[in-house]
Amino acid sequence: QLQLQESGPGLVKPSETLSLTCTVSGASISTTNYFWGWTRQPPGKGLEWIATAYHGGSTYYSPSLESRVTISVDTSKNQFSLKLRSVTAADTAVYYCAKSLSTTFHPNWFDPWGQGVLVTVSS
């Protein structure tokens, strides 16, 4: 079945760029109507959606993070990535990647999710 696995540094210095990759197995990242997204969860807090992308090039971003975030899809590697620039301690969180499905280009729900990766922003 479809599985997702996040990977990337667990520690990032303030003002630097956080880079994460999600490897998809069990399905092609280019499958029609499959979208790919990132959500994060600061320790002890709730979920915050970051971005969603389609293999065809469409990307959607949280208005609160849009100026610092880039999501991209690499069909050759069956992976998608997240870059968050100019990080601060407030960006410390567990970052999850997940698949969405929409036949109307209104991706909103996510299933399944990766196990998540804790990224700490600290010098």
Residues near other proteins, by CB under 8 A: 37, 39, 46-49, 52, 60-64, 96, 105-116
Q: Which is nearer to other proteins, 43 or 76 (CB)?
A: 43
Residues 87 and 18: beta-carbon distance below 8 Å? yes
Residue 57 or 76 with smaller CB distance to other proteins: 57
Pairing of strands 18-25, 11-12: unpaired
Q: Which is nearer to other proteins, 16 or 68 (CB)?
A: 68
Residue 107: CB minimum distance to other proteins, A: 7
Nearer to other proteins, 16 or 116 (CB): 116
Residue of 115, 123, 122 whose CA lies nearest to 41: 115
Task: Supply φ then ψ for residue 90, to 5 degrees.
Answer: -65, -15
DSSP 8-state class, residue 91: G
Minimum CB distance to other proteins, residue 45 (Å): 8
CB of 74 to other proteins, least distance (A): 21
Q: Are strands 110-113 and 93-101 parallel, antiparallel or unpaired?
A: antiparallel
Tokens of 94: 């567990």
* Shortest distance in whole angstroms from residue 102 CB to other proteins: 9
